[in-house]
Amino acid sequence: MGNSRKLIKFFLQNNIKFFSGVPDSVLKPFIESLNKFKGIKHQVAVNEGSAVSLAAGWQVATKKLPLIYMQNSGLGNAINPLISLTHKKVYSIPMILMIGWRGEINRYDEPQHVEMGKITKDILKLLNIKTLILGKSVNLQKIKRLILYSLKKKQPVALLIKKELFENDKIGKISKLNNNEIMRFDFLKELVNQISKNTKIVSTTGYTSRELNEIRKNNKSLNGKDFYMVGAMGHTSIFSLGVAEGLVKQSNIICIDGDGSMLMHLGSLFTIANQKKHNFKYVLLNNNCHESVGSQATGIKKTDLKLLSKSLGFKEYLRISKSREMKNIINVFLKKNRYDFLEVKIKNKSIPNLGRPKNLKDIIKKFI
Ligand SMILES: Cc1ncc(C[n+]2csc(CCOP(=O)(O)OP(=O)(O)O)c2C)c(N)n1
């Protein structure tokens, strides 16, 4: 049995049945396995602070111990409720945090993860959260002691998960492909083919930035400049607005977001639509999932994005769901000087051998 199943069984035996969090690649097999067990309540949250607060409310109502999973990048989102809601000096609410350790010390990782990786243990210490690091093997007795500590002291505790813990877990076919026909790569290629020289693109965390970067690498003569939001997930849209507001020379700003990222800080769209910037456009690449970390569903499928964007105050809502309409709708979208919202229904499938944006300092220099 893989470590993820072993741990979930153990949690169930210890009456831990409520799970919430934001997906992470280190925890991918664990999160996927949650859906295969009966008697589990599992809710994917929009951000890590939201997951902690949801679990805290559930704990207050049931007196049972919940588990919240997240990538260590998400600790930033979680700190507010961890220090001002669940902390022992406030309401003292017990829970287990399971944290994927990106930027783990002595292991290569991308720049956006390195600093957080270095300080993750210290942050947990500052938050007074007793932490157990889990590497290749699982010592259930140690975890049991941590659980008892959390219950007795009524405090959050943490399991800090190294990459190797779930690395060899067989998870079967987790990335079920959706029925959308448009590949993100094809859309991005068509978009950069059509944009004018004075267009700047800000693209979201994960595969979107990586694919856009691939397109640029392979064709240096394309118009426009890009900024890749490699970290700060969920802040792509509001960062783009900042760029649109700050530019002295008139440029067109296109924000390319993902559904997971959009939902993480949905309130930013409210600020954006209220500013009514005519040089700002918003594109949502909607694959209904967090594809970059394992295609876990975001739950956005049931939301009417036309209604949402219009009620937030976007000027127009456009949608592309068929490859044959892509070229024309992109053309219409780019031509109009207005703050429109374009939803593109994309397949959750990326091109193989995807590189990563490098030399971030160069990227920011060239952007403006
Ligand atoms: C605060 C934070 N939480 C979690 C992550 C891990 N993470 C990186 S990309 C990603 C998924 C993004 O989903 P979406 O915006 O829908 O784009 P897609 O991957 O589907 O292209 C997640 C959860 C992160 N980088 N930062």
- Whether the domain at 3-165 and the domain at 184-367 fall into the same CATH topology: yes
Atom index in ligand 1 nearest the CA of residue 25 equals: 6
Contact 311, 250 (CB under 8 A): no
Per-residue pLDDT at 181 exceeds 90: yes
Report pLDDT digits (tens) over 204-227: 999 999 999 999 999 988 999 999
3-165 maps to CATH 3.40.50.970 = yes
User: What's the gap in Å between 75 CA and the centre of ligand 1?
Assistant: 14
pLDDT at 55: 98
Domain ranges of the chain: 3-165, 184-367
| Residue 247, number of CB atoms within 10 A of its CB | 15
Give residue 1's pLDDT band: very low, low, confident or very high (50, 70, 90): confident
161 closest CA partner among 102, 116, 115, 79: 102
Report pLDDT digits (tens) over 129-172: 999 999 998 999 999 999 999 999 999 999 999 999 999 997 75
Per-residue pLDDT at 40 exceeds 90: yes
What SS3 string covers 40-67?
A: CEEEECCCHHHHHHHHHHHHHHHCCCEE
Give residue 249's pLDDT band: very low, low, confident or very high (50, 70, 90): confident
| Ligand 1 pocket, Cβ-based, cut-off 6 angstroms | 22-24, 71, 73-74, 77, 204-208, 233, 258-261, 287, 289-293, 298
Query: What does the mean pLDDT of the chain come to?
Result: 96
Per-residue pLDDT at 80 exceeds 70: yes
325 closest CA partner among 309, 342, 311, 310: 342
Report pLDDT digits (tens) over 49-79: 999 999 999 999 999 999 999 999 999 999 9
52, 187, 205, 269, best to mutate for ligand 1 pocket (most atoms within 8 Å of CB): 205
**Spatial separation of the C-alpha atoms in residues 204 and 290, rounded to whole Å:** 12
Report pLDDT digits (tens) over 82-101: 999 999 999 999 999 999 99
Q: Averaged over 237-254, what is the pLDDT?
A: 92
What is the pTM (predicted TM-score) of this model? 0.97
Per-residue pLDDT at 174 exceeds 80: no
Per-residue pLDDT at 42 exceeds 70: yes
Give residue 175's pLDDT band: very low, low, confident or very high (50, 70, 90): low
Structure tokens at 365: 């220099």
pLDDT at 173: 55
The CATH number that domain 184-367 falls under is 3.40.50.970
pLDDT at 250: 79
User: What's the gap in Å between 63 CA and the centre of ligand 1?
Assistant: 31
pLDDT at 248: 73
Per-residue pLDDT at 356 exceeds 90: yes
pLDDT at 188: 98
